[in-house]
Amino acid sequence: MRTRWALLALGVTGGVPGAVPGGALPQLVVVGPTGDTLRTVTPQFTVRASNVDDGDRPLMLTLQVDDRATFDAPPLFESTGVGDSMKVAIERPLPAATQVYWRAVVRTARGQEAASDVTGPRVTSPWARLVEPNSSRGVTLDSRRPRFTWSPARLPPGSGPWRFRLDVENVATRQILSIGPMLDTSAVPTVDLETNSSYRWAVTSFFPAGDSAMTRSDASFVIVDAASPTVTLLYQNFPNPFPTAGSATTCIWFDLHRSTTVQVTVHDIRGGLVRTIIPNEAVRNDFSPGRYGRGTVGSNTGCDMRFVWDGRGDDGQPAPTGVYLIRLKTDYSVSFKRALYRGR
């Protein structure tokens, strides 16, 4: 459901002496935030009318902000004032990370209407920016209780403080650890997270008036366990499906509990070979016990780039969109995982 919020007109200026008559409709200019992405969740605007005939006064000016360029329904945000110009400040945050447009409309004393050019699309600011652990390529950590930090958007003076809730989700089990609501902009889990599991995290920001918005991490993170594996295991590749906005490849992880030769291959759903991942130019097929495919601890990636699939076949050409099988073959076992490739 669309919520219509009123905007606050900070100042309205009356008629301008010496305006040139001529019967033409007033011309409108809206001065608003610059840049493709807004830097604040509560931007300010100035509306100015020119070419005003004395007979058109008093002018009724309206600023409209909406998520549609057509303005064919009641706008999300609107403010009206009387005069040749006005300044407007939004009292409550714009929706987070949303495309918006704005324009001004004037109604003259004669009942005529005119509109300014439409500005947009512009992307609104998120209510919080996630700092760490956060990277579009994933993050590898060695602590089971990592510190999560974020940076909130600036609020107008007197509006009160943000409150936050941190959610940490195990991608495989969908279990969520929640912390908050709180005033702090960082938090540490009170329980250990699992090792060798993929996690994502999010922060929900609560505006003092009650509105809220969630900001999600760019990709997953994983906590590495340095101990030797007790079983040989092929993990579900991630991201899956792929590619995504943050990753053109999918990561392949596996554990080996004893020395073995290894083959990692990608097959179509009928079993036909599409791509050989291991061995390759950088990796031979003789492996010692250990955990493979993870990024190095502290790096802004959850993947060892020697163990990824980019959706191409051995011939270098992109594979067709569809479901594929990733196979791990050792001297003593064979394992498969299903991968969904979205195509290029």
Chain centroid offset of residue 306 CA: 27
Q: Which domain holds residue 171?
A: 128-223
Bridge partners for 151 per DSSP: 129
Residue, of 209 and 191, whose pLDDT is higher: 191
Tell me the pLDDT tens digit for each residue of 230-266: 789 999 999 999 999 888 999 999 999 999 999 999 9
Q: pLDDT band for position 300 (50/70/90)?
A: low
Q: Give the per-residue pLDDT at 14.
A: 56
Query: What whole-number distance in Å separates Cα of residue 29 and Cα of residue 85?
Result: 9
What CATH number does residue 10 fall under? Answer: 2.60.40.2060
| DSSP strand pairing (186-187 vs 221-223) | unpaired
In the block, residue with structure tokens 């609560």: 206
Tell me the pLDDT tens digit for each residue of 38-54: 988 889 999 999 999 99
Q: Is the pLDDT of residue 2 over 60?
A: no
Tell me the pLDDT tens digit for each residue of 159-184: 889 999 999 999 889 999 999 999 99
Q: Are 5 and 77 in contact (CB under 8 A)?
A: yes
| Lowest mean pLDDT across 27-31, 99-103, 132-136, 298-302 | 298-302
Query: What whole-number distance in Å separates Cα of residue 92 and Cα of residue 213?
Result: 13
Query: What whole-number distance in Å separates Cα of residue 51 and Cα of residue 28?
Result: 9
Q: Are 303 and 251 in contact (CB under 8 A)?
A: yes
Q: How far is residue 155 from each of residues 7, 41, 44, 94, measured CA to CA in Å?
A: 15, 7, 12, 11
For the four alpha carbons of 267, 271, 272 and 276, in that order, the dihedral sign comes to: positive
Query: What whole-number distance in Å separates Cα of residue 303 and Cα of residue 281?
Result: 18
Is residue 237, in this structure, part of any structural domain at all? yes
Q: Is the pLDDT of residue 5 over 70?
A: no
Is residue 300, in this structure, part of any structural domain at all? yes
Q: In this structure, are 91 and 164 located in the same domain?
A: no
Query: What whole-number distance in Å separates Cα of residue 319 and Cα of residue 274?
Result: 8
Percent of the chain with pLDDT over 70: 92
Number of domains in the chain: 3
Nearest C-alpha neighbor of 42 from the set 162, 154, 197:
154
Give the domain-ending residue among 178, 199, 223: 223
Bridge partners for 5 per DSSP: 77
Q: pLDDT band for position 299 (50/70/90)?
A: low
Q: Give the per-residue pLDDT at 215.
A: 95
What CATH number does residue 152 fall under? Answer: 2.60.40.10
Give the domain-ending residue among 108, 123, 138: 123
| Lowest mean pLDDT across 54-68, 150-164, 259-273 | 150-164
| pTM of the complete model | 0.64
Q: Is the pLDDT of residue 301 over 80?
A: no
Query: Across all residues in the chain, what is the average pLDDT?
Result: 89
